[in-house]
Structure 1
């Protein structure tokens, strides 16, 4: 199974609507396929342009590593590793990237950027859940 842009777009609209209701900072949403290639990007009105690459990087890292970026960050700290050790300049250790797993198989990943890291993680999980319920 793969994720498609229509499913992701609908899930993003739902999550962005919820995020927009609380009056907090606007965010950027990204979704990638299982290889890390971008399939969807949405920047809420007023979200700084710099968030685009951060959201994409979070999704990309989650897809390539197969774990959330907060778990990846914990590994870096625990094992005294740096991002440079992975020889991939697109990696980030910022929390807010979540892999999409269906039946234990990686089908893609999502990333969110624009708020405090804990809020990015929460929104990213909501975004992922909205996608996964349709698979």
Structure 2
């Protein structure tokens, strides 16, 4: 499934569940934007948040929730990484083909837990490539 098609099916799910509108972002392995979608009614500020989640997951190669745990465990701050695009908000997931990082996705607009669930659905749709 293409990133655009995966995004569209994820947006359809999100629009049917009655939750708040979201923004979805997909980036390549370097963190460069590939695809961005903001649902009608989603605040513009969500663009930067969704993109930051995807970017961080790509650059670090781990889910942003895991990155957040590392920061807490090692008593680090985002500033320690010298990259002002990083975020520790959950809702970003890296995408792998085997062992190779191919990109990442990020979702923002709901509770952090709901962002993670939608992000997992978005990532799964990209992985299936049906």
Q: TM-score range by the shorter chain?
A: over 0.9
Per-residue Cα deviation, 1:70-112 (whole angstroms, up to 9, x for no partner) = 0000000000000000000000000000000110210000000
Equivalent of 1:94, from 68, 83, 89?
89
Aligned length: 130
Q: Does 1:38 find its partner at 2:29? A: no
Rounded to whole Å, the distance in 1 between the matches of 2:28 and 2:72 is 27
- Pick the aligned partner of 1:61 from 56, 66, 83: 56
Q: Distance in 2 between matches of 1:111 and 1:104?
A: 20
- 1:76 maps to 71
Deviations 1:24-82 (CA, angstroms, capped at 9, x unpaired): 10000000000000010000000000000000000000000000000000000000000
**SS at structure 1 position matched to 2:2:** helix
**2:43 is the counterpart of 1:48:** yes
Q: Any runs of at least 4 consecutive aligned residues in structure 1 with deviations exceeding 3 A, and if so which?
A: none
The TM-score, its normalising length taken from structure 1, stands at 0.95
The residue that corresponds to 1:111 in the other structure is 106
Separation of aligned partners in 2, 1:55 and 1:39: 13
Ranges in structure 1 where 5+ consecutive residues have no aligned partner: 1-5
